[in-house]
Amino acid sequence: MKRQRNGEIWDFEHEMPANQTATEVVLGVDGGTTSTVCICMPLIPFSHSLPPDPVPVLARAVAGCSNHNSVGETAARETLEQVMADALSKSGSNRSAVRAICLAVSGVNHPLDQQRILAWLRDIFPSHVRLYIQNDAIAALASGTMGKLHGCVLIAGTGTIAYGFTEEGKEARAAGAGPTLGDWGSGYGIAAQALTAIIRSHDGRGPHTMLTSSILQTLGLSSADELIGWTYADPSWARIAALVPVVVSCAEAGDEVANKILVDSVQELASSVKAVVQRLGLCGKDGTDSFPLVMVGGVLEAKKRWDIGKEVINYVSKDYPGVQSIRPKVEPAVGAALLAWSFLMKESYNENYRS
Amino acid sequence: MKRQRNGEIWDFEHEMPANQTATEVVLGVDGGTTSTVCICMPLIPFSHSLPPDPVPVLARAVAGCSNHNSVGETAARETLEQVMADALSKSGSNRSAVRAICLAVSGVNHPLDQQRILAWLRDIFPSHVRLYIQNDAIAALASGTMGKLHGCVLIAGTGTIAYGFTEEGKEARAAGAGPTLGDWGSGYGIAAQALTAIIRSHDGRGPHTMLTSSILQTLGLSSADELIGWTYADPSWARIAALVPVVVSCAEAGDEVANKILVDSVQELASSVKAVVQRLGLCGKDGTDSFPLVMVGGVLEAKKRWDIGKEVINYVSKDYPGVQSIRPKVEPAVGAALLAWSFLMKESYNENYRS
């Protein structure tokens, strides 16, 4: 399939009209800064209050980055269209079978971002197709709650964000603003602090640390000076974030500098969660109500002795003992598809209730 | 003049042989990340131990960025060649009149960087021309000490670095590694912390701060959310560092968050100076010897009530009471030209002494 024009991506001319008895589908898209995943799911009957486990998936398609902040609007749009077209094609389905789409895309931080995406989606899909545009954090939350928009999600991979929803639809977020704006608990933040500690030790501003030999060896560098050229050579955040396991190993081996970086990061991550829980009142009036905390991303999943995710939960539960941590069993794109399904179910319920 | 090939920049074919009585010159180049300046200075007789004041300048030429980390090696080399050719041409002089060149370029952090630059300079200038390749911090130091390589320089503009030399030629540096590697006292560092404070206040992780209204108004933004798009739109560090005066104004108006950012930055900058002074023993064995501290860059020059430069000196003088602060009267490129002159004088002295 070609990527240039809508007609080419979607092949409007040769599209067959949907058979009335064809399987209706929903699409869930998780658009991250490294890749974009689209899941095509058959429409589960609304008689179920929770989706079946395992979730039925007709097809899965993958594409590159769809964050408009990173690749620009045109490229982001093309990637999103392509991944949806691919998922439909793999399902043996087409646009006319689609009932709802949940597009959860990183970089959607403002109502204007949502409106812009809605405008071009409306050019492609008929008006009866329900469209939901969200930040990608929502897909991660839904992947833990199986489509229910309630609770808080903490994502900590290369970047980090905390996002929460109340049952009434109130939402709040913390962090997720990128390295310049202080996402210090992220994988990038942890690794950048480790690199900084090496420079400070090297030039006499900071204490000796095991991070120097461990990280220089990992990168194949012979001196701390060479780190300057290394960081300038490629500004990719993911490349720096990939050093997190080395920091964890040094902390486990007793290095105080590495340990302090991890402790500080745990506090940063916990403070993001607590800010969201506090603003939404997820913990109830006396602070003891139960609420789900979905934990997603490489920084939180490290199954190491020094377990960052576990420490974050410990910190949060000191203030909010009702926190229920969840490690999702499905990927965020499935969460997005479940969200599309649950939005549709809610609308259908509301319509039936009104009529 | 064209920029593509050496022959075109230098016009080898039409160059006149130097008249034996033509004025001999030295070149000083200050190659920064925003611009590159070349000064062409007549060779001052070596009978003076200090250069005349004012320093005689034959010509001054300006070009763009020559940091190879930022623009790549080819573009950096072309910029450096062009600015030297321009300065010679404006002086009515040419390559054969050159006795020495001091090239002080940002991004020279490693002996390999020096060797690479030396290699291509040797293609252009005859073997009797003395070539000195240094980090650009050295030019700033020499602009305060009038060509004497002794003492410490602290530069804090968009970036920051501390660099020092002993009379014996021992050198040391601290910071100057870029934002990823923790140059928190820089203009970029100060402004990035202010932007972070706005995000933290907005999402509930941090206290209210006057920085929010002041910076959003300066940038013409209506909400803290819009800062995310603003920082992604253009990753230029200088654009972010330009917000330092707003941070200073907020601190002067009593904002605690802004004040803490400046206090922390003063400590960071002072710690860079102290690391260099300590490692070089500039303060003598009992820590009270006198040594020059040259202060350069927009962050240190702000003639505000909240005077970052003055506070840094206060901090340093608590540990090293012999610190003598200097605000240079000439620009770094003049410092580089004076360095070329003083290197040449030293070599000439050594030769005479040996013979």
HEC string of chain A equals CCCCCHHHHHCHHHCCCCCCCCCCEEEEEEECCCCEEEEEEECCCCCCCCCCCCCCCCEEEEECCCCHHHHCHHHHHHHHHHHHHHHHHHCCCCHHHEEEEEEEECCCCCHHHHHHHHHHHHHHCCCCCEEEEECHHHHHHHHHHCCCCCEEEEEECCCEEEEEECCCCCEEEEECCCHHHCCCCCHHHHHHHHHHHHHHHHHCCCCCCCHHHHHHHHHCCCCCCHHHHHHHHCCCHHHHHCCHHHHHHHHHCCCHHHHHHHHHHHHHHHHHHHHHHHHHCCCCCCCCCCEEEEEECHHHHCCCCCCHHHHHHHHHHHHCCCEEEECCCCCHHHHHHHHHHHHHHHHHHHHHHHC
Per 3-state DSSP, chain B is made up of helix, strand and coil in percentages (nearest 5) of 50, 15, 35
Angle between helical axes of A187-203 and A256-280 (0-180°, round to 10): 140
Lowest mean pLDDT among A264-278, A329-343, B100-114, B212-226: B100-114
Percentage of chain A lying above the pLDDT 90 cut: 65
d(CA A108, CA A160): 14
The segments of chain B whose pLDDT lies below 50 read 1-4
Distance from CA of A122 to the nearest CA of B (A): 24
Q: What local confidence, expressed as pLDDT, does residue A2 receive?
A: 40
Classify B26 as helix, strand or coil. Answer: strand
d(CA A257, CA A247): 9
User: Checking DSSP bridges between strand B25-31 and strand B36-42, what pairing results, if any?
Assistant: antiparallel
Angle at B188 (CA atoms; ends B293, B148), nearest 5 degrees: 20
Angle at B350 (CA atoms; ends B348, B351), nearest 5 degrees: 65
Q: Residues A322-347: what's their mean pLDDT?
A: 93
Distance from CA of A271 to the nearest CA of B (A): 6
Quote the DSSP letter at residue B271.
H
Distance from CA of A185 to the nearest CA of B (A): 13
Which of B172, B178, B231 comes nearest A181 by C-beta? B231
The answer to whether A45 touches A17, Cβ cutoff 8 Å, is no
Q: Residues A326-330: what's their mean pLDDT?
A: 94
Q: Can B6-146+331-354 and B179-326 be said to share one CATH topology?
A: yes
Phi-psi region of A26 (alpha: psi -120 to 50; beta: other; left: phi over 0): beta
- List the one residue out of B271, B170, B274, B257 whose CA is nearest residue B205: B257
d(CA A96, CA A126): 8
- List the one residue out of B59, B104, B133, B162 whose CA is nearest residue B333: B104
CATH of A6-146+331-354, one of 3.30.420.40, 3.20.20.70, 1.10.10.10, 1.20.120.420: 3.30.420.40
Query: What CA–CA distances, in Å, run from B87 to A25, B84, B341?
Result: 70, 5, 17
Considering A163-172, A177-186, B174-183, the range whose residues carry the highest mean pLDDT is A163-172
- In chain B, the DSSP E strands lie at 25-31, 36-42, 59-63, 98-105, 130-135, 151-156, 160-165, 171-175, 291-296, 323-326
Nearest CA in chain A to B198: A181
Q: What local confidence, expressed as pLDDT, does residue B2 receive?
A: 40
First-residue to last-residue Cα distance in chain A: 44
Query: Is the Cβ pair A196, B182 closer than 8 Å?
Result: yes
Q: From the centroid of its chain, how far is CA A73?
A: 19
Query: Is the Cβ pair B180, A199 closer than 8 Å?
Result: no
Distance from CA of B121 to the nearest CA of A (A): 22
Total Cβ atoms within 10 A of residue A227? 24
Contacts of residue B176 in chain A, CB cutoff 8 Å? 228
Higher pLDDT, A54 or A60: A60
A-B interface: how many C-beta pairs under 8 angstroms? 121
- Whether the bond between B179 and the residue before it is cis, its omega within 30 degrees of 0, is no
Two tokens, residue A167:
């049952």
Check CB contact of B70 with chain A, cutoff 8 Å.
yes
Which of B175, B205, B235 comes nearest A203 by C-beta? B175
Q: Does pLDDT of A3 surpass 70?
A: no
Question: What is the average pLDDT value for chain A, to the nearest integer?
Answer: 89
The answer to whether A251 touches A306, Cβ cutoff 8 Å, is yes
Classify B141 as helix, strand or coil. Answer: helix
| Domain range annotation of chain A | 6-146+331-354, 179-326
Encode pLDDT of A200-221 as tens digits: 999 999 999 999 999 999 999 9
Which of A173, A205, A228 comes nearest B174 by C-beta? A205
Query: Is the Cβ pair B109, A172 closer than 8 Å?
Result: no
Which of A180, A195, A271 comes nearest B205 by C-beta? A271
Check CB contact of B226 with chain A, cutoff 8 Å.
yes
Contacts of residue A136 in chain B, CB cutoff 8 Å? none
Q: Which residues pair with A100 in a beta bridge?
A: A26, A130
Contacts of residue B173 in chain A, CB cutoff 8 Å? 203
Query: Is the Cβ pair A203, B173 closer than 8 Å?
Result: yes
Check CB contact of B278 with chain A, cutoff 8 Å.
yes
Contacts of residue B106 in chain A, CB cutoff 8 Å? none
Which one of B116, B152, B216, B228 would you mutate to disrupt binding with A, by most A Cβ within 10 Å of its Cβ? B228
The pTM is what?
A: 0.86
Q: Residues A300-321: what's their mean pLDDT?
A: 92
Query: Is the Cβ pair A225, B175 closer than 8 Å?
Result: no
Two tokens, residue B154:
């602290």
The answer to whether B164 touches B171, Cβ cutoff 8 Å, is yes
Which of A174, A178, A204 comes nearest B203 by C-beta? A174
Check CB contact of A109 with chain B, cutoff 8 Å.
yes
Q: Does pLDDT of A5 surpass 90?
A: no
Q: What are phi and psi of B323, to 5 degrees?
A: -65, 130
d(CA A6, CA A2): 9
- What is the rounded (10 degree) CA torsion for B35, B36, B42, B45? 100
Two tokens, residue A24:
């209706």
Indicate the class that CATH gives domain A179-326.
Answer: alpha beta
Classify B254 as helix, strand or coil. Answer: coil
First-residue to last-residue Cα distance in chain B: 44
Q: Residues A242-251: what's their mean pLDDT?
A: 97
Contacts of residue B227 in chain A, CB cutoff 8 Å? 177, 181
d(CA A256, CA A248): 11
Query: Is the Cβ pair B228, A271 closer than 8 Å?
Result: no
Which of A70, A172, A204 comes nearest B278 by C-beta? A204
- List the one residue out of B351, B350, B338, B347 whose CA is nearest residue B150: B338
Distance from CA of B8 to the nearest CA of A (A): 30
Check CB contact of B317 with chain A, cutoff 8 Å.
no
- In B14-94, the DSSP E strands lie at 25-31, 36-42, 59-63
Query: Is the Cβ pair B182, A199 closer than 8 Å?
Result: yes
d(CA A220, CA B346): 40
> Which H or E element spans position B337?
helix B332-354
The answer to whether A60 touches A38, Cβ cutoff 8 Å, is yes
| Residue positions counted in chain A | 355
Check CB contact of A227 with chain B, cutoff 8 Å.
yes
Which one of B154, B198, B203 would you mutate to disrupt binding with A, by most A Cβ within 10 Å of its Cβ? B203
Query: What CA–CA distances, in Å, run from A2 to A13, A65, A103, A117?
Result: 14, 17, 22, 21
Encode pLDDT of A105-120 as tens digits: 987 877 888 899 999 8
Beta-carbon contacts of residue A182 (< 8 Å; ≥ 6 apart) = A175, B192, B193, B195, B196, B199, B200
- List the one residue out of B136, B143, B135, B103 whose CA is nearest residue B119: B103
The answer to whether B331 touches B300, Cβ cutoff 8 Å, is no
Q: What local confidence, expressed as pLDDT, does residue B50 receive?
A: 72
User: Checking DSSP bridges between strand A130-134 and strand B59-63, what pairing results, if any?
Assistant: unpaired
- In B51-129, the DSSP E strands lie at 59-63, 98-105
Q: Which residue type sits at A39?
A: I
d(CA B279, CA B283): 10
Tracing tokens 């640390």 back to the chain, one arrives at A209
Which of A181, A196, A225 comes nearest B195 by C-beta? A181
Q: Which residues pair with B98 in a beta bridge?
A: B25
Query: Is the Cβ pair B271, A205 closer than 8 Å?
Result: yes
